[in-house]
């Protein structure tokens, strides 16, 4: 036990600092991926809600593929697919070796694409949950389409979307561990490095699990706070 504490200490010879730093990378990766996913999700949701056939089909296809295919495959597609393309370009300019994509950016993109597919469903459901009278009322007030979205619809939509978004966020945080397979030193990868070098896999993976759990718990309460705020002044079941 004292051994474990020594290994995980923040001081000299301890891995605590490296693990905390890697947890920071995990957090940054997840937040940026989630935000990019919000963008993809919003676009896909508006596609799904559109009455036109092409956007609606495209958005549906996007959701079906990235919610049905293992996230690991998507990550391999982006990393190797991108790197192979980059290597070809490198060859053209006279570079010889394999050119890898930057792992952090690839991770953010992968999480963005995957979580966007889930977020699209959340936004679509939330949009449909907004009372149709609100659209009519904002039109009656003379608001432009953009104004009514920004001032009337989106604030109400977020009330319905927040619980679902909280679930997607938890999914994103845990999915971010998969980015370790392309070599980004986030929490999972750093624990692997530590486990290998100290020959103490149990201690390191337990520490990683605890840090993931902590991030999930703290951020989960942020979502609950946001939900309470979004519903303030409203009576709801």
Residues that bind another protein (CB under 8 A): 64-65, 67-74, 76-77, 80-81, 84, 170, 173-178, 180-181, 188, 191-192, 195, 199-202, 205-206, 208-209, 212-213, 216-217
Q: How far is the CB of 152 from another protein (least distance, A)?
A: 29
Which is closer to another protein, CB of 12 or CB of 199? 199
Q: How far is the CB of 228 from another protein (least distance, A)?
A: 21
**Residue pair 214/27 in contact by the 8 Å Cβ criterion:** no
**Residue 31 and residue 168: Cα distance in Å, rounded?**
12
**Residue pair 216/210 in contact by the 8 Å Cβ criterion:** no
Burial status of residue 230 (CB atoms within 10 A of its CB: 0-12, 13-18, 19 or more): middle
**Residue pair 59/45 in contact by the 8 Å Cβ criterion:** yes
Long-range contacts of residues 226-234, Cβ cutoff 8 Å, at least 24 apart: 226/162, 227/159, 227/162, 227/163, 227/166, 230/155, 230/158, 230/159, 230/162, 231/159, 234/159
Q: How far is the CB of 225 from another protein (least distance, A)?
A: 18
Q: How far is the CB of 236 from another protein (least distance, A)?
A: 19
Strands (E), the chain: none
Which is closer to another protein, CB of 46 or CB of 83? 83
Q: How far is the CB of 192 from another protein (least distance, A)?
A: 8
Which is closer to another protein, CB of 43 or CB of 174? 174
Strand, coil or helix: 60? helix
Which is closer to another protein, CB of 119 or CB of 176? 176
**Residue 74 and residue 178: Cα distance in Å, rounded?**
11
**Residue 1 and residue 7: Cα distance in Å, rounded?**
10
Q: How far is the CB of 56 from another protein (least distance, A)?
A: 19
Which is closer to another protein, CB of 39 or CB of 209? 209
Which is closer to another protein, CB of 149 or CB of 216? 216
């Amino acid at each position: 036990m004292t051994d474990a504490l020594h290994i995980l200490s923040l001081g000299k010879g301890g891995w605590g600092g490296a693990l905390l730093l890697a947890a920071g990378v995990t957090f940054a990766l997840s937040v940026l991926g989630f935000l990019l996913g919000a963008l993809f999700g919003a676009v896909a949701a508006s596609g799904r809600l559109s009455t036109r056939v092409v956007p609606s089909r495209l958005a549906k296809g996007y959701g079906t593929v990235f919610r049905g295919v293992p996230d690991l495959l998507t990550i391999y597609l982006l990393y190797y697919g991108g790197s192979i393309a980059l290597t070809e370009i490198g060859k053209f300019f006279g570079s010889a070796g394999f050119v890898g994509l930057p792992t952090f950016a690839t991770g953010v993109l992968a999480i963005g694409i995957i979580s966007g597919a889930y977020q699209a469903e959340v936004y679509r459901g939330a949009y449909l949950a907004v009372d149709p009278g609100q659209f009519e009322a904002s039109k009656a007030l003379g608001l432009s389409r953009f104004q009514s979205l920004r001032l009337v619809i989106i604030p109400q939509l977020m009330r319905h979307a927040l619980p679902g978004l909280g679930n997607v966020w938890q999914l994103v945080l845990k999915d971010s561990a998969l980015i370790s397979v392309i070599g980004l030193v986030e929490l999972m990868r750093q624990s692997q490095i530590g486990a290998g070098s100290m020959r103490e896999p149990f201690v390191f993976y337990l520490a990683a699990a605890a840090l993931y759990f902590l991030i999930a718990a703290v951020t989960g309460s942020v979502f609950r706070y946001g939900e309470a705020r979004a519903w303030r002044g409203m009576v709801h079941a």
